[in-house]
């Protein structure tokens, strides 16, 4: 699990060493202006059988507007799942 300024990514490999060269997959990029930048500190949790990524984000122009957010996976396969905005 990693972030860039404006997206959330997951990475997978068949071994720990393989993570070094594995390509990440972007699972979330938000276009809502009050939560489209400053994405960081993602955590993946399973809650009552559903997978969620909790992260912080805010507007591009103001770091004081950073808040916690969550996205939810459409299935238990994190790689193939479609992710949707779940909460603020």
Report pLDDT for 9: 96
- Spatial neighbors of 42 by CB under 8 A, at least 6 apart, are 1, 2, 3, 8, 53, 54, 55
Return d(Cα 52, Cα 43) in angstroms, integer: 8
H or E element: which one contains 77?
A: none
Domain count, the chain: 1
Return d(Cα 44, Cα 42) in angstroms, integer: 7
Range of the domain at 11: 2-87
Spans of the chain, pLDDT less than 70: 88
Report pLDDT for 62: 84
Report pLDDT for 8: 97
């Amino acid at each position: 699990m990693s972030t860039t300024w404006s997206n959330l990514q997951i990475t997978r490999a068949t071994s720990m060493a393989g993570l070094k060269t594995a390509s990440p997959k972007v699972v979330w990029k938000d276009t809502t202006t009050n939560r489209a930048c400053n994405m960081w500190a993602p955590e993946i949790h399973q809650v009552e059988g559903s997978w969620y990524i909790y992260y912080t984000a805010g507007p591009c122009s103001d770091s004081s507007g950073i808040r916690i957010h969550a996205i939810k996976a459409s299935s238990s396969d994190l790689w193939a799942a479609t992710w949707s905005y779940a909460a603020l």
